[in-house]
A = this chain, B = another copy of it.
Amino acid sequence: MRKIEAVDFFYLSMPEVTTEGDGSQDALLVRVAAGGLVGWGECEASPLVSIAAFVCPMSHGACRPVGASVLGQRLESPEDIYRIASQIELDSMDLLQAPHTWSGVEIALWDLLGKDRQQPVWRLLGYRESFRKLPYASQLFGETPAQTYERAAAARQQNFRAVKFGWGPIGRGDLKTDVEHFSAAREGLGKDSLLMVDVGQIFGDDAEGAAARLPMLEKIGAVWLEEPFHTSALDAYASLSRKGNLKLAGGEGAHNFYMAQHLIDYGRVGYIQVDCGRIGGIGPAKRVADYAASRAVTFVNHTFTSHLALSASLQPYAGMRSDEICEYPFAPKPLARELTSNHLERDSQGYVAVPESPGLGIDINIEAARRYLVDVEIKVKRNVLFTSSDQM
Q: Which residues of A contact B (CB under 8 A)?
A: 13, 17-23, 25-26, 44-49, 52-53, 56-64, 86, 89-90, 93-97, 99-100, 167, 200-202, 204-205, 230, 232-235, 253, 255-256, 258-259, 261-262, 266, 278, 374-382, 385
CA distance A82 to B100 in the complex (A): 27
Chain B residues closer than 8 Å to A232, beta-carbon distance: 256, 258-259, 262
In the A-B complex, the 5 residue pairs with the closest CB atoms? A232-B258, A19-B61, A52-B52, A97-B97, A48-B56
Instruction: Please state if B95 and A45 are interface contacts (CB–CB under 8 Å).
Output: yes
Q: With a CB–CB cut-off of 8 A, which chain B residues contact A44?
A: 94
Q: A94's contact among B46, B93, B377, by CB below 8 Å, is which? A: B46
Closest to A68 in B: B19
Which residues on B sit within 8 Å (CB–CB) of A204?
86, 89
* Chain A binding surface SS class: loop
Hey, which chain B residues are within 8 Å of A59, CB to CB?
Answer: 17, 23, 25-26, 45-47
Q: Cβ of A381: which chain B residues have Cβ within 8 Å of it?
A: 374-375
Q: Are B378 and A382 in contact (CB under 8 A)?
A: no
Closest chain-B Cβ to A295's Cβ sits at a distance in Å of: 13
- Whether B97 lies near A253 (C-beta < 8 A) is no
Q: How far is the CA of A48 from the CA of B255 in the complex (A)?
A: 21
Pairwise interchain contact B48-A57, C-beta atoms closer than 8 A: yes
Using CB atoms, name the residue of chain B closest to A52.
B52
Contact A378 B49 (CB under 8 A): no
> Chain B residues near A23 (CB, 8 Å)?
59-60, 63, 94
In the complex, what distance in Å separates the CA atom of A266 from the CA atom of B259? 13
A62 touches B17 (CB 8 A): no
Given A17-B59, A61-B20, A377-B377, decide whether A94 and B45 contact each other with a Cβ distance below 8 A. yes
Instruction: Determine whether the beta carbon of B202 is less than 8 Å from that of A90.
Output: yes
Q: Which chain B residue lies CB-closest to A258? A: B232
User: Are B93 and A48 neighbours in the complex by a CB distance under 8 Å?
Assistant: no
- A94–B26 Cα distance when bound, in Å, is 13
Assess the B45–A52 pair: CB atoms within 8 A: no
Contact B375 A378 (CB under 8 A): no
